[in-house]
């Protein structure tokens, strides 16, 4: 029996999904008679993450005091280390009235079925000043052109706090049955495999040669038992590659280029925040909850545009995360690229004698252009099997 790293903030993982089928059916029935609200996509994603144990040891949505404390100090009022507020924010609370228990309906599934039941502890207005402070602290900018800032500020200003019981995992289980996994399912799988030292790789994109080799480097340098490739399956910004295409390309890469039983390909149901450093810390928290001992944090991790410095997401772990707040460790990665000199993918900081001309670089725009035109990507940049899956997708957009 392997001994996995402890979850964050507790000895055992406490997922909020109601495992007992009889109890779950009773709650589904009860939900029919409760006042209900259709929550926003971010709140629904928070429910899915709470349900799966990813947000252990939280028991539900934060009140304004906790959200402000987390934004300003990365800890709740009670002192629990946490990097990003977990909120259920709505525009209008008239549907709730003075109800103490409400049903939360899913905005992302046809018919808006009940996703969770919440005990209402408080309904509070978040002031414009508080919204501005939270936005600045979480995203390090208040620029409305930032997709995370825009989403965070568009959902309303009334926070409904209190514990929840989660009744399903939204669209993720049905749309990604082979890939969506809860934190407790990942822990079970790792225990079966006998893994103890596990390195996690976060992705919202397909994986090219540089990403593949980065996983391999971390695995070898850490002498790890396995790699968790963990992809975001929720809402992204326009222009990002859909989850099913990413999933297919990543699975193909693992199948062809990694040893059997060294990689778990899984996904989680969360909407991307694009919050750079703070999101990197959140990624570390919920990877610890899955049982991983290390998280690869590379250049511009969870960033967007030019809002963050290339290595801000690594610096936050040294500069702002208190000693001992997390058990998971960070594997700090530099930009990786194929070296023409050495005929392999390398981490660029390891080779100061190289110039830009010694590497194979392709911009995202160039990659999309080549794939859309049915042109093969250089094998130094992308595995042909992966490139062909992506090419089929891009060419379908042109039809």
Residues forming the active site: 204-205
Structure tokens at 133: 């402070």
Nearest to 17 by CA among 39, 45, 47: 47
Nearest to 330 by CA among 313, 310, 307: 313
Tell me the C-alpha distance between 97 and 163, whole Å.
18
Tell me the C-alpha distance between 161 and 157, whole Å.
13
Nearest to 58 by CA among 80, 77, 88: 80
Name the strand (E) or helix (H) holding 218.
helix 209-221
Beta strands in 120-174 (DSSP E): 122-125, 158-166
Query: Which residues neighbour 369 within 8 Å (Cβ) at sequence distance 6 or greater?
Result: none
Count of helices and strands (H, E) across the chain: 13, 15
Please tell me the total number of residues recorded for the chain in this structure: 399
Tell me the C-alpha distance between 249 and 387, whole Å.
8
Tell how far CA 150 is from the center of its chain.
18
- Burial of 5-17, coded b for 16+ CB within 10 Å and e otherwise, reads bebbbeeebbbbb
Tell me the C-alpha distance between 392 and 307, whole Å.
32
Tell me the C-alpha distance between 83 and 47, whole Å.
17
Tell how far CA 273 is from the center of its chain.
8
Which 3 state secondary structure label does DSSP give 276?
A: coil
Pairing of strands 359-360, 226-232: unpaired
Tell me the C-alpha distance between 5 and 148, whole Å.
31
Tell me the C-alpha distance between 230 and 228, whole Å.
6
């Amino acid at each position: 029996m392997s001994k996995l790293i402890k979850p964050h903030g507790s000895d055992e993982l406490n997922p909020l999904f109601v495992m007992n089928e009889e109890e779950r059916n009773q709650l589904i029935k009860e939900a029919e008679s409760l006042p209900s609200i259709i929550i926003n996509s971010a709140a629904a994603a928070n429910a899915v993450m709470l349900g799966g144990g990813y947000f252990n040891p939280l028991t539900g949505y934060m009140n304004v005091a906790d959200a402000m404390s987390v934004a300003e100090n990365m800890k709740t009022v009670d002192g629990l280390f946490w990097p990003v507020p977990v909120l259920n924010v709505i525009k209008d609370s008239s549907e709730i009235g003075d109800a103490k228990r409400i049903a939360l309906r899913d905005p992302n599934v046809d018919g808006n079925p009940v996703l969770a039941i919440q005990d209402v502890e408080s309904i509070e207005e978040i002031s414009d000043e508080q919204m501005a402070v939270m936005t600045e602290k979480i995203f390090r900018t208040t620029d409305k052109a930032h997709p995370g800032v825009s989403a965070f500020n568009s959902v309303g200003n009334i926070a409904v706090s209190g514990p929840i019981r989660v009744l399903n995992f939204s669209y993720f289980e049905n749309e990604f049955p082979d890939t969506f996994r809860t934190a407790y399912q990942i822990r079970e799988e790792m225990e079966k495999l006998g893994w103890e030292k596990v390195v996690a790789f976060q992705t919202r994109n397909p994986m090219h040669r540089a990403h593949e080799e980065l996983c391999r480097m971390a695995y070898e340098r850490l002498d790890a038992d396995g790699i968790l490739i963990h992809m975001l399956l929720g809402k992204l910004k326009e222009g990002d590659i859909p989850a099913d295409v990413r999933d297919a390309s990543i699975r193909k890469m693992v199948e062809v280029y990694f040893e059997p039983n060294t990689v778990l390909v899984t996904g989680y149901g969360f909407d991307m925040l694009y919050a750079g450093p703070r999101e990197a810390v959140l990624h570390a928290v919920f990877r610890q909850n899955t049982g991983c001992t290390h998280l690869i944090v590379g250049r511009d991790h969870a960033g967007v545009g030019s809002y963050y410095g290339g290595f801000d997401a690594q610096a936050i772990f040294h500069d702002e995360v208190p000693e001992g707040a997390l058990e998971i460790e960070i594997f700090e990665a530099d930009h990786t690229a194929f070296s023409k000199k050495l005929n392999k993918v390398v981490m660029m900081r390891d080779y100061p004698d190289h110039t830009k001309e010694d590497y194979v670089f392709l911009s995202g725009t160039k990659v999309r252009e080549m794939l859309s035109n049915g042109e093969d990507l250089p094998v130094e940049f992308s595995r042909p099997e992966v490139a062909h899956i992506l090419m089929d997708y891009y060419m379908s957009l042109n039809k």
